[in-house]
Amino acid sequence: MYSNSLVDRHALVSYDAPIMKRFDFLVALYITCIMLSELMGAKTFPLFTIFGFKLSASVALLVLPLVYSANDVIVEVYGKERARSIVRAGLLMVAFLILFSFLAVYLPPTPRFALKEKAYETIFGLTIRIAASSLTAFAVAEFLDVFIFAKLRDALGKKGLWIRTNLSNFVSEFFDTVLFITLAFYALDKPFAMNFAFLAGLILPYWLLKCFMSILETPLVYLGVRWLRKEEK
């Protein structure tokens, strides 16, 4: 009887418990968006041309604002120390991706895979550079985002979440964009003027679009904070 009651109680707890904790989902989304930007961020696509100046963006633009929004939600609900811990975890995952990419490219292929090896090295060789560039930019920008958001929270209290979210995002995204684009896409075999024109054509629209997407995603920060606090209550 005693063991049966324990089994029944355990079954009841397992049945009532949520399938997935909301905080766990948020962290998983955060890490996934980081990995997507590392693995697929090498591709750039054209946006539009202004006075003969071609503006382009990396496909990572589509997921990076979610990273900063998740950061702000975690700082708002759990505080800056918890957010910094998750940023460190993200940095470790990027570092692991770089090391594994080196290993995967270095290992010799089987005869069956030999014909695809060149394409594999090209893609994941780019991934290594993108990830290394992103690791540097990400380390600066993410900690800066947490720092600015926490300072604004100290100054403004719990009011003005949209101001705190967007100001911290705008500043951190600017540093992230300049560092990442320069390290990832500067071509040593090209003259400075050509590099500057290309990089500026990436940096300006990339940063402005990230700012615009940050504004659009502000309601998601409010919803995320409310959603996370519900589970805490």
The pLDDT tens digits of the residues spanning 52-75 come to 767 677 787 788 778 878 888 888
Residue 46, both tokens: 């054209």
Taking 50 as the threshold, does the pLDDT of residue 11 lie above it?
A: no
Residue 32 lies in a domain: yes
C-alpha 26/C-alpha 183 separation (Å) is: 29
Taking 50 as the threshold, does the pLDDT of residue 182 lie above it?
A: yes
Containing structural domain, residue 209: 2-42+58-232
Taking 70 as the threshold, does the pLDDT of residue 6 lie above it?
A: no
How many domains are contained in the chain?
A: 1
3 state DSSP class of 46? strand
Residue 52 lies in a domain: no
Residue 135 lies in a domain: yes
Strands in 59-117 per DSSP E:
none
The pLDDT value recorded for residue 2 is: 46
Residue 92, both tokens: 């470790």
> What letter would DSSP give residue 160?
-
Residue 49 lies in a domain: no
Residue 188 lies in a domain: yes
Q: What is the CATH number of the domain that holds 139?
A: 1.10.1760
Sole residue written with tokens 């989902």: 25
Residue 158 lies in a domain: yes
Q: Whole-model pTM? A: 0.70
